[in-house]
Structure 1
Amino acid sequence: MRTWTPTSLASEQSGALLAVYQQDPEFLGGSPGLSALVSVVPLAVVLVLLGVLRVRAQWAALAGLAAALGVAIAGFGMPVGMSLSAAAHGAFFGLVPIMWIVVNALWVFNMTVATGHFDVLRRNFGTLSVDRRTQAILVAFCFGGLLEALAGFGAPVAITSVMLMALGFKPIKAAVLALVANTAPVAFGAMGVPVITLARVTGLPLDQVASMVGRQTPFLALFVPLVLVFIVDGRRGLREAWVPALACGVVFAFAQFVTSNFVSVELTDIVASLLGAITVVALARVRPNAVWAAREPAVAAGSGPGTAAAPDSRADVRRAYAPYAIIVAVFALAQLPGVKSALDSLKLAFTWPGLDVVDRTGKPHSTTQYSLTWLSTAGTLMLIAGVIVALVLGVGLARSVRTYRRTLVELRWAILTVAAVLALAYVMNASAQTTAIGLFVAGAGGALAFLSPVLGWFAVAVTGSDTSANALFGALQVTAAQGAGLPPELLAGANSSGGVLGKMLSPQNLTIAAAAVKLDGQEGVLLRKVIGWSLGMLVVLSTIIALQATPVLGWMLP
C-alpha cells in the first residue's frame, strides 16, 4: 500500500490537486515488528535523555520531536509539510487547552501566596494533623482526586504539589507524591471524560465500559495511599500510619466501584475522594492519641516565652480555604446538565490546515481536527475562578496582572516542553507510529490480556492524557479482544486502567510538577523517582486483568 497518494479531488478554487497521506502502520518492509521497533525511537530518545543523561526536559522533548519527525518522514513516508503541520497542531494543543489550565491554576496559587493566605492554610492543616503521612493522604490523594474529578489535565499535580511544599515537604518529595497520587482517580477524571470517550470510540455501552473500569482501578486505590505513606516515611511510616492509609484506600476503592457501577460515571471520583477524606478525618477524631492523628494546638496570643503569635482568626481561615472552595464550586456548576450543554455549545472547531491524513480504511484521522469548547474548558473555568478569588482576597487589578505575568515567566520552559511533547505525540499519531506499536502489541496472542494495560500505559506516557490514550487505542483493543476471543469490555477497560499508571512519567506531567515546585530542569530526577512505582503497579494491574480473562477472576466481569 502506498502511503502518499494524490486524491482524485481537485480544488475548485486553485485547480490544484490535493494530496492525502494514507497511514500504513506496516510501512517498513511490510513488517509489523520492524515498524513498531522504529516507532519506539522517539519516546526512547526522550526517556533516555531525561532519565539517563539528565538533559533538561525542554531539550529532551525537542530531541524527541526531531526523532519523531525523522521517523515519520524517512520511515513512514509522510510528506515533510504534513509532518510539520502535525507538529504544529500538537504544539498548539499543548498550549490550549493543556498549558492554559496549568498557567491559570498556578496563577490562583501565586495570588494566595502573595497575599499570605496560603500560610494561613498551611497552619490550619496542622490543626487537622501535623503528621506528614496523613497530610500526604489528605492533600495528594483525596484533594488531588477531587481536583482530578473536576479538572484533570495536570491541574491536580500542579496544585497539590505546591500545597504539600507549603506544608513543609521538600520540593522533590512534594512533586513525587503529587505524581504518584494522580493515578487511581484518572480514569474517571474531568467528570468521567476518559471513560465516556472510551465508550464512544469503541461503540460499547457506557455503563458496561464504566463498570469494567470500576472493577479494575479500585485495586490501585487500595494501596496508593500506602505507597504515599512509604514515600514519606519508609517502613516506619507503614508501621505507624497504615490505619488511615488502608482505611482511605478501602473506602475510596469501594466508593469508586459502587458509584461507577450503580450511580453515576461523572460523580465517581467526587464521591470517592470526599468519602476518603471524611474517613481519615473521622478516624483521627476517634483515635486522637494515635501518632498519625497528632494535631497542632492553637497558640494563644501572648502565651509562651513572649514570642508566640496570635492564632489565625476564623475569617482568615475562611479566606484561606476560599480559593479551593471557589474552584470546586465553579467546576461543579459548570457540570450541571443545563449549564454544561450551554457552555459546550460555544465551540471552536476546524480542520487543521495542511494536514490531510486518512487511516487505513480511508476515514479522516482524528489529528486532522481541532476542537475546543473554549468556555467550558478547565483553563477558562480556572481563569473565572481566579478572577473571583482575586475579588474575595482583595487582590487589586494591577497586582493580579503582575502575578499573572510572573507566573508566565516562571512557566516559560514548561510551556516549551509541553508544546514539544504534544507536537511529538501528534506526529507519532498522524504518521501511524503509535498505531504500529499498538498493532504489534495487539498480536500478542495468549499474552494479550496481560499486555493490554501496557498499551494504555504507553499511550498515556506519550500523550499525558488517558482521554487521548482511549481515543487512540480503545477501538484497537476491542478489535484485538474479538480476534482473541476475549470480552471486548475487558480490554477496553484495561486500556484506560493501565493508562492511569503512565501519567506519572509522561514528560508533560513531569514538567508540570517540576514547574509547580520551581525545580525547572529536574524532570529527569522526578522520572527516576517515579518510574519504579509506575512499572511495579503496572505489573500488579496487568496480572489482575490477565486473571480477569480466566475463571480465576472472570466472575468480576459485568
Structure 2
Amino acid sequence: MTFVQNFTPVRDSLALSAVVALIPIVYFFWALAIKRMKGYVAGLTTLLVALAVAVIAFKMPAGMAFMSATQGAAYGILPIGWIIITSVFLYKLTVKTGQFEIIRNSVLSITEDRRLQALLVAFSFGAFLEGAAGFGAPVAISAALLVGLGFNPLYAAGLCLIANIAPVAFGAIGIPIIAVEGPTGIPAMEISKMVGRQLPFLSVFIPFYLVVIMAGFKKALEIMPAILVSGVSFAVTQYLSSNFLGPELPDILSALVSLFALAIFLKFWKPKTIFRFSAEQEMAAASAVRKPVEKQISYTGGQIFKAWSPFLVLTGVISLWGIPTLKLSLTGHYEGPNAVLKAINSVGNALTVMPEVPLLHNRILTGAGTEIAALYKLEILGAAGTAILIATIITKYIVGIAWKDWIRTFAETLNELKFPVITIGSVVGFAYVTNASGMSTTLGMTLAKTGFLFPFFSPFLGWLGVFITGSDTSANLLFGNLQKVTATSVGMDPILAVAANSSGGVTGKMISPQSIAVACAAVGLAGKESDLFRFTIKHSLFLVMLIGILTFLQNGILSWMIP
C-alpha cells in the first residue's frame, strides 16, 4: 500500500485544507495557553488530534499515520530526550556535591554594581546554564540568584527571561538545532552555521538592552566598556563555535568566554559610581525569605577550578564527539585505516540501529511522486547524550561522590524528567505526522502566498511556536519542515528559513506561559504571571521584529551570509 500526499484534500481548496491543517496547532495553543494543561497531556492529546486530522481529512491510512508518530517519538527520545536527561543529571551532580554553590559564589563575588551583576548572572551565567542543562534551569536559577542579591523579584525574572534569548537556539547541548535535522533533512551543521550568522547580532545588543531596561540609557553608557566586553566576547565566540564546531557548544563556550572576559576586565576597570536600585531596602525586605548573600565565603582558585571542572570536562568530551572522523566511527560509518578509530567503529556499528519503519518506509509519495524514506535512527554511542553521560562518570571521580549516590541521582533525574520526555516524544510524533500526511506542506503553500515578504514573517512563525510550546526545540520540530517547504516555494534558501525559525523562536521564550510560570515560581511570584507577561511582551515583539528585518536582508542584499 502506498499513500500519495494530497495538499488540497478539503473540497480541492488550499485555503480550506490549510484551515483544517491548523486544527492540531490551534488545539495545542488552546491546551497550553488557555486551558493550561500539563505539557505531557497537551502533547499527547495534540498528537491524537493530529492523527485524526491526518486520517479523516488528509486520507492517510491509519496504520501509516500511527507508524509516523512512532518514528517521531523514537527521535524525541533518542537523541533529544537522552541529551536532556544526561545534561540535567550532570547539573544535579554539581548541586548534590556542593560544587554548584562554589560556582555561584565565584560569580557573585566579582562586583557590587547591580548593572554588572545582571550581565554576569542573567546574561553570561544564565547562558552557561542554558547550554549545560537548559530546560527551565537557567531562568529559574539566575532569577532566584538575582533576587537573593537584592533585585526586585519581578525585575529579576523579567531580566533573566530577556537575557535568555541569546543562548536559547543552542540550548541544552544544541538540542533545538540537532532536533530539526530530522524532519527537515537539512544537516544540523548547516543550520548551526546560519543561526550563528544571525544571533550574534542580538548577542551584542542584549547586554546593552538589559542595562537600559534596568537603569536607563545614560547609566548604560557609564558602563559601556563592560557591556562591550560582555556582548562582543559572547557574540564572537558564538559565531566561531557555531560555524566551526557545531551546535552543541556555542552556549557553553560563549558563556564561559563572556563570563571570564568580564570578570578579568573588572579586575582592571571599575565604574565611576556603584549603581544600586533606589528602593534597595524594600527589595532586601521583599527577598528576606531568600538565602542571605551578605555572608560571603572565600574559596581558593583550586576550589573554584574544581567546581567548574565538570562543565569543562563536558566541553572537552562534546568537542571530541563533534570531530568528523570520530563521529563517523562512533556511528559505525568509519572506513579509514586508523586502528583506534576502527576499533571504536566496531562498537559504534553494534550500537547503531537504523531499521525501516514498518508500513511507512518508501510507501509515502510526494505530490511529485518521490518516495520518502522512513527509518528509526538510533545512534546510541554517537549521541551527544552519551558523551554527556561519559562526562558525568568522569565528574563522579572529580567531585568524589559514591557510586550509590551517583546512581540515586540518576534515578531521581529520570523520575523528574519522565513527563517532559513524554511531552517531547509526543510533540515530535505530532511533527512527524503533520509532515508525513502533507499538513505542513499545505500550510507552507498557504504561507507562500505572502510571497517576497515571507522572509520577514518567517521568524514570527518560530516566535509563535515557542510561545505555544515553551521550547525552541518543539517549535523547530513543529514548523521546521513548514519553513523549508514555504521557503522553497517562494525562492528563499531553506537553510535561512529553518534558521530564522530558531532565531525568531528565541524571542518567544520570554512570553511563553511555561517560561513565565517557571520564572514566577523561582522568585516567589506565583499567581503574578500576568504581570510578568506584560513586562516581557513589548520586548519580545520588538526583538522578533529585529530578527525579521535581519532575515529579510539576508534573503536579499546580505545573501552572501548564507552558508
TM over 0.5: yes
| Among candidates 96, 102, 118, match of residue 78 of structure 2 | 96
2:459 is equivalent to residue 453 of structure 1: yes
Deviations 1:62-96 (A, max 9, x none): 33223222221222112222222222332232222
Partner of 1:363: 370
Contiguous gaps of at least 5 residues in structure 1: 1-18, 295-306, 483-487
Report if the CA contact (8 A) 1:222-1:250 is conserved. Answer: yes
Q: Check if 1:376 corresponds to 2:382.
A: yes
Give the residue type in structure 2 aligned to 1:360.
G
Counterpart CA distance in 1 for 2:45 and 2:179 is: 34
Q: Following the alignment from structure 2 to structure 1, what is the Cα–Cα distance between the partners of residues 439 and 267?
A: 54
Segment of structure 1 superposing worse, 62-71 or 466-475 = 466-475
The 3 A distance-change label for structure 1 pair 310 and 38 is: closer
Does residue 420 (structure 1) correspond to residue 420 (structure 2)? The answer is no
Q: Deviations over 1:241-288 (max 9, x none)?
A: 665445433444455567778x77678767755553344224423333
Aligned amino acid, residue 164 of structure 1 = S
Matched, 1:389 2:395: yes
Deviation (angstroms), 1:33? 2.0
Q: Deviation at 1:395? A: 0.9
Task: Name the aligned partner's letter for residue 358 of structure 1.
Answer: L
Q: Distance in 1 between matches of 2:218 and 2:45?
A: 42
Once the two structures are overlaid, the 10-residue window that deviates more, 228-237 or 118-127, is 228-237
Structure 2: distance between partners of 1:309 and 1:283: 22
1:48 maps to 30
Change (3 A) 1:259 1:121: closer
Q: Choose which of 336, 360, 364 in structure 1 pairs with 2:323.
A: 336
Q: Pick closer, same or farther for the CA change 1:69–1:273 going to 2, 3 Å.
A: same
- Given that residues 144 and 157 in structure 1 are in contact (C-alpha distance below 8 angstroms), is that contact kept between their aligned partners in structure 2? no
Alignment of 1:68 onto 2:46:
no
The one-letter code matched in structure 2 to 1:344 is T
Partners of 1:33 and 1:531 lie apart in 2 by 30
The alpha carbon displacement at 1:442 in A equals 1.8
Matched, 1:495 2:498: yes
**Matches of 2:454 and 2:553, distance apart in 1:** 12
Superposed, which structure 2 residues align to 1:235-384 within 5 Å? 244-253=226-235, 272-273=254-255, 275-289=257-271, 311-345=298-332, 346=348, 347-355=352-360, 356-365=363-372, 368-384=374-390
Deviations 1:287-327 (A, max 9, x none): 33466799xxxxxxxxxxxx978633444323321221121
User: How has the CA–CA distance of structure 1 residues 22 and 183 changed in structure 2, closer, same or farther, with 3 Å as cutoff?
Assistant: farther
Distance in 1 of aligned mates of 2:533 and 2:502? 19
Q: How does 1:95-114 map to 2 (within 5 A)?
A: 95-114=77-96
TM-score normalised per structure 2: 0.74
Please give the residue correspondences for 1:511-530 in structure 2 after superposition, counting only pairs within 5 Å. Answer: 528=533
Q: How much does 1:385 deviate?
A: 1.0
Q: Distance in 1 between matches of 2:162 and 2:311?
A: 21
Contact 1:162 1:174 survives alignment (8 Å)? no
The number of residue pairs the alignment matches comes to 511
1:543 paired with 2:530, answer no
Q: Distance in 2 between matches of 1:421 and 1:202?
A: 18
Task: Tell whether 2:482 aligns with 1:479.
Answer: no
Shift of 1:145: 5.2
SS in 2 for 1:362: coil
Identity over aligned residues, as a percent?
30
Matched-pair contact (CA < 8 Å) for 1:142–1:273: yes
5+ residue gaps, structure 2, are 277-293, 333-347
1:353 and 1:516 map into 2 onto residues whose CA distance is 43
Amino acid at match of 2:431: A
Q: Give a deviation string over 1:311-356, Cα, whole Å, max 9, x none.
A: 3344432332122112112112222344333223223212222334
CA distance change for structure 1 residues 94 and 502 in 2, over 3 Å: closer, same or farther? same
Two-structure CA RMSD over aligned residues (Å)? 4.6
CA contact (8 A) 2:88 2:413 kept: yes
Task: State the partner residue of 1:57.
Answer: 39
Which letter maps to 1:422? V
- Tell me: CA distance 1:290–1:448, structure 2 relative to 1, closer, same or farther (3 Å): same
Report the Cα distance in structure 1 between the residues aligned to 2:514 and 2:385, rounded to whole angstroms. Answer: 17
Q: Which amino acid aligns with 2:500?
A: S
Q: Secondary structure at the match of 1:369?
A: coil
Per-residue CA deviation, residues 212-241 of structure 1 (Å, 9 max, x unaligned), is: 655533332232334555777898985776
Provide the residue aligned with 2:408 in structure 1.
402
Kindly tell me: are residues 106 and 232 of structure 1, through their superposed partners in 2, closer, same or farther at Cα, counting changes over 3 Å? farther
Would the alpha carbon gap of residues 28 and 464 (structure 1) be closer, same or farther in structure 2, given more than 3 Å must change? farther
Task: Answer whether contact 1:418 1:511 (CA < 8 A) is retained.
Answer: no
Deviates more, 1:176-185 or 1:433-442: 176-185
Work out whether residues 170 and 250 of structure 2, in 8 Å CA contact, stay in contact via their aligned partners in 1. yes
- Letter paired with 2:230: C
**Distance in 2 of aligned mates of 1:80 and 1:169:** 52
